Amino acid sequence: MKFNYQRVNTVSEALEALSGNNETRKILAGGTDLLVMIQEHLISPGELLDISGIEELKEIGEDDGMIRLGALVTHGRIADSPLLREKALPLVESCGEVGSPQIRNLGTIGGNLVMASPSGDSIPALYVLGAEVILASNEGERSIPIEEFLIGVKKSAIRSDELLVAVIFPGMGADDRGFFRKLGQRKALAISKVSTAAIVSLRDGVIASARIALGAVATTVIRTPRTESFLVGQPLTPEVISEAARLCSEESRAITDIRSNAAYRDEMAGLLLSRGLAEIAEEN
């Protein structure tokens, strides 16, 4: 297979290269999805724009409580970051479960988002963190909430002249507790059959706010608003956790596909929620 290859070292070089209309051009970051798709003849790009050398997209930063992750930050660096362990635990736990050490060292947060797979592991965590995606083009930058960025199975709102440059979200506060749990076919190197991320804010033993997101159960990641509302104002007792799990399974409305069937996914979504909440209850 033949294609043109261009390597860029700055965001402005990348945006210049992206400005010409070329539907067969593909951006190459870690290559863990793209190179597999090329190898399996699922796509045949005419041009590869290699952005992996852009240092300014590799930064993890915090400014006034807002966390900013450059698009080229790898799953491995997220999983190992003490700052993110304190401010974004569900994301740290989800990135720590991606593939294998080799995949985590290459695969990037930007690539995971643009792939827009319902089983992309970073995505439920970014939902509960309230993340926004920053897209840049020659016309400037725009920022969109993650729920509006992901519009379907492997479909995102990015345009062909745009580069995903960063993802931003408010860091978790002192009252916030969170987790990510995933169920795959095996313990390692498994794509999620179902995953659950949550952040609850605990004040004096009572839940003041709750955000829950489920991965791999629908065409995009979904939130479970009825379960979230139920939890607010409640202490984390075994009865409350069990009712939250039941509601969460009800709200999951999963799909059946080659990886798993709907009823099992619904049940597991609730079970993963109850396990995570039970651990939080134990630790507090």
Ligand X SMILES: Cc1cc2nc3c(=O)[nH]c(=O)nc-3n(C[C@H](O)[C@H](O)[C@H](O)COP(=O)(O)OP(=O)(O)OC[C@H]3O[C@@H](n4cnc5c(N)ncnc54)[C@H](O)[C@@H]3O)c2cc1C
Structure-derived torsion over alpha carbons of residues 188, 118, 176, 131, reported in degrees to the nearest 10 = 120
Q: Which residue number, 48 or 231, has a Cβ lying nearer to ligand X?
A: 48
Binds ligand X (CB under 6 A): choice among 99, 130, 170, 171: 99
Q: Closest distance between ligand X and the C-beta of residue 54, in Å?
A: 9
Binds ligand X (CB under 6 A): choice among 33, 132, 161, 266: 33
| Interface positions, 162-191, toward ligand X (CB under 6 A) | 163-164, 189, 191
Q: Does 126 bind ligand X (CB under 6 A)?
A: no
Q: Which stretch binds ligand X (CB under 6 A): 29-37, 60-68, 79-87, 249-257?
A: 29-37
Binds ligand X (CB under 6 A): choice among 8, 17, 28, 217: 28
Q: Tokens 């479970």 identify what position?
A: 224
Q: Does 125 bind ligand X (CB under 6 A)?
A: no
In angstroms, rounded to a whole number, what is the distance separating the alpha carbons of residues 272 and 195? 7
Is 242:231 a contact under the CB 8 Å cutoff?
A: no
- The distance from CA 66 to its chain's CA centroid, rounded to whole angstroms, is 17
Q: Which stretch binds ligand X (CB under 6 A): 59-67, 114-122, 147-155, 253-261?
A: 114-122
Q: Does 70 bind ligand X (CB under 6 A)?
A: no
Please report the sign of the dihedral spanned by the C-alpha atoms of residue 270, residue 278, residue 198, residue 92.
negative
Q: Closest distance between ligand X and the C-beta of residue 147, in Å?
A: 18
Binds ligand X (CB under 6 A): choice among 38, 79, 91, 108: 108
Q: Tokens 């990135």 identify what position?
A: 95
Residue of closest CB approach to ligand X: 111
Q: 27: closest CA among 119, 132, 159?
A: 159
> What phi and psi, each to the nearest 5 degrees, are found at residue 49?
-105, 105
CA angle 258, 268, 282 (to 5 degrees): 150
Q: Closest distance between ligand X and the C-beta of residue 275, in Å?
A: 19
Q: Closest distance between ligand X and the C-beta of residue 269, in Å?
A: 17
The strand order across the sheet containing 47-50 reads 4-7, 47-50, 25-28
Is 264:276 a contact under the CB 8 Å cutoff?
A: no
Give the interface with ligand X as residue ranges (CB under 6 A).
26-34, 36, 71, 98-99, 103, 106-108, 110-112, 114-115, 120-121, 158, 163-164, 189, 191
